[in-house]
Amino acid sequence: MSSLKGKHILLGVTGSIAAYKAALLVRLLVKEGAEVKVIMTEMAKQFITPLTMATLSKNPILVEFYNPENGDWNSHVSLGLWADMYLIAPATANTLSKMSSGVADNLLLTTYLSARCPVVVAPAMDLDMYKHTATQQSLATLKERGVWISEPESGELASGLEGKGRMAEPAEIVSYIKYVFGVKGSMVGRKVLITAGPTREDIDPVRYITNHSSGKMAYAIAESLACRGAQVEIVSGPTSQRISMPNTKVTSVISAGQMYEAVMASYTTSNPDVTILCAAVSDFTPSNKADKKIKREGDDMVLTLKPTNDIAASVGKIKREGSILVGFALETDNELSNAQGKLERKNLDMIVLNSLQDPGAGFAVDTNKVSIIFRGGHTHEYPLKSKAQVAEDIADNIEKLLGCSEN
């Protein structure tokens, strides 16, 4: 279940060219299970229509304090009480200045002064406006007052100039508000180390050995734990997966050897409370990597392989008392006995088993079907679910092992 499911998100849209991104932002929030209401300024209506926003949010758009035709009152107080979060995206320099000064000359700003919930702003403006001392002072003042800032990105701006000021992409903003909700979560103060994706073992400068892992499962687990407030480091092999929450860090590696070095260094220096070994690490690597591309000569080619370092076994040998070590097993036969044997041999506290025999489970798909096995032999089998839902189940079980409770 998404950490935004059932949340009341009040979205304020101001008069910026970036207002077009608000449509996708609403769509993503609704897809995450949030209920969204939208306040627009008069200038925002010049960039995107209320009809578009109403259709996507499934709620009427609010612009004025009241409807002059029938007298219906849009209470800023009620809106402020309804919201679990007030997100203003895009937030123009004008709106940020008024917020910092306490000006309340429209429904969006009056609601800001009434809101009891966390407030997040996503600035959007040209680079010189963003760099201007007045704008920076406005942002500093708002930050001091507890307003959260979803930092703008650098890149090409509507003016044609290059620089910082472009509103963060909607997916980045959604990740950020998940982080904000998680600052009082059940995993605050906990550190998590997780491995993700495949590894690549070079044969020569052109070819390599790898596997079908996409990293989707590991990144979903990382996001679930980060949403609960944990500080998460991902040691990631080559993957297209991305995460941008402020309490996450990605260390990119290529080979099994690099992943081993990165994991052991992080484990011994950062002392994680939880280590999750989710990556599909190559068990073997070529004994010798050719300096030049191997030419085709004859019909057969013999490639000699040697074992890579066993990351799970190595961490298991030095596992600290009170820390949790979680492994994964992807099996094609004798699934349960193989997974139980791995758990015992490598000193794991919990192992997540999935089988390539189960339709919809395994690599490069958005679903998974797992069994979670604990020390002592207790096993919990789960039906086929999305990987995001499986990640929540795994995170729930990790919390139970840690004895976490809501702060």
2 belongs to a structural domain? no
Q: What is the CATH number of the domain that holds 259?
A: 3.40.50.10300
Number of domains in the chain: 2
Q: Is residue 406 pLDDT above 70, yes or no?
A: no
Q: Look at residue 121 and tell me whether its pLDDT is greater than 90.
A: yes
Same domain, 157 and 247: no
Whether residue 167 contacts residue 122, with contact meaning beta carbons closer than 8 Å, is answered with yes
Residue 200 has pLDDT above 90, yes or no: yes
85 and 144 inside one domain: yes
User: Is 245 within the bounds of a domain?
Assistant: yes
Neighbours of 6 (CB within 10 A): 11
| pLDDT value of residue 292 | 92
Q: Are residues 42 and 177 in the same domain?
A: yes
158 lies in the same domain as 12: yes
Do both 134 and 200 map to the same domain? no
Q: What is the per-residue pLDDT for 134?
A: 96
Q: Is 182 helix (H, G, I), strand (E, B) or coil?
A: helix
The closest of 244, 234, 226 to 398, measured between CA atoms, is: 226
CA atoms within a 13 Å half-sphere pointing along the CA-CB vector of 244: 14
If you average pLDDT over every residue of the chain, what do you get? 92
Domain membership of residue 94 as a residue range: 8-181
At residue 190, the 3 state secondary structure works out as: coil
Is 211 catalytic? The answer is: yes
Which whole number is the average pLDDT over 316-332? Answer: 92
Residues 118 and 36 occupy one common structural domain? yes
Is 3 part of a structural domain of the chain?
no
Pick the last residue of a domain from 181, 205, 238: 181
Whether residues 192 and 79 share a domain: the answer is no
- Which residues touch 75 (CB under 8 Å, ≥6 apart)? none
- For residue 124, what is the domain's CATH number? 3.40.50.1950
Segment 116-126 shows an average pLDDT of 96
From edge to edge, which strands make up the β-sheet containing 231-236?
A: 248-252, 231-236, 191-196, 274-277, 324-331, 350-355, 370-374, 379-381
The last residue of a domain, from among 181, 203, 225: 181
62-83: pLDDT as tens digits: 988 777 666 677 788 889 999 9
**Are both 52 and 136 inside the same structural domain?**
yes
Question: Omega into 90 within 30° of 0, i.e. cis?
Answer: yes
| pLDDT above 60 for 253 | yes
Question: Is the separation of the CB atoms in 358 and 330 below 8 Å?
Answer: no
Vertex 332: Cα angle to 385 and 304 (nearest 5): 125
- Angle at the Cα of 160 (from 172 to 93), degrees rounded to 5? 60
One of 59, 70, 106, 211 is an active-site residue; which one? 211
Which DSSP symbol is given to 152?
P
Query: How far is CA 403 from its chain centroid?
Result: 24
Q: If 0-12 CB within 10 Å is exposed, 13-18 middle and 19+ buried, where does residue 379 land?
A: middle
Residue 150 resides in a domain: yes
CA distance linking residue 162 with residue 2, whole number of Å: 35
Indicate the residue among 141, 158, 181 that finishes a domain: 181
**Selection from 97-111, 171-185, 366-380, 393-407 with the highest mean pLDDT:** 97-111
Q: With cut-offs at 50, 70 and 90, classify the pLDDT of residue 1.
A: low
Q: Quick one: pLDDT band at residue 357, thresholds 50, 70, 90?
A: confident
Task: Look up the pTM and report it.
Answer: 0.85
175 and 193 in a single domain? The answer is no
Residues 105 and 191 in one domain: no
3-class SS at 187? coil
Please give the average per-residue pLDDT across 236-260, as a whole number.
95
Same domain, 161 and 23: yes
239 has pLDDT over 70: yes
In a domain, 1, yes or no: no
Task: Considering only residues 300 and 247, tell me which one the structure prediction assigns the higher pLDDT.
Answer: 247
Are the C-beta atoms of residues 194 and 234 closer than 8 Å to each other?
yes
- pLDDT-derived band at 308, boundaries 50, 70, 90: very high
- Please check whether residues 338 and 304 belong to one and the same domain: yes
- Residue 358, pLDDT above cutoff 80: no
Q: Is residue 407 part of a domain?
A: no
Above 90 in pLDDT, residue 342?
Answer: yes
pLDDT for the residue numbered 157: 87
Cα Rg, the chain, nearest whole Å = 25
Distances (CA, A) of 127 to 47, 103, 229: 20, 24, 32
Indicate whether 351 pLDDT > 50: yes
Helix, strand and coil percent figures for the chain, each rounded to 5? 35, 25, 40
* Average pLDDT score over residue span 250-274: 96
C-alpha pair distances (Å), 153 with each of 41, 124, 143, 161, 302: 23, 9, 18, 13, 50
In contact, 104 and 110? CB cutoff 8 Å: yes
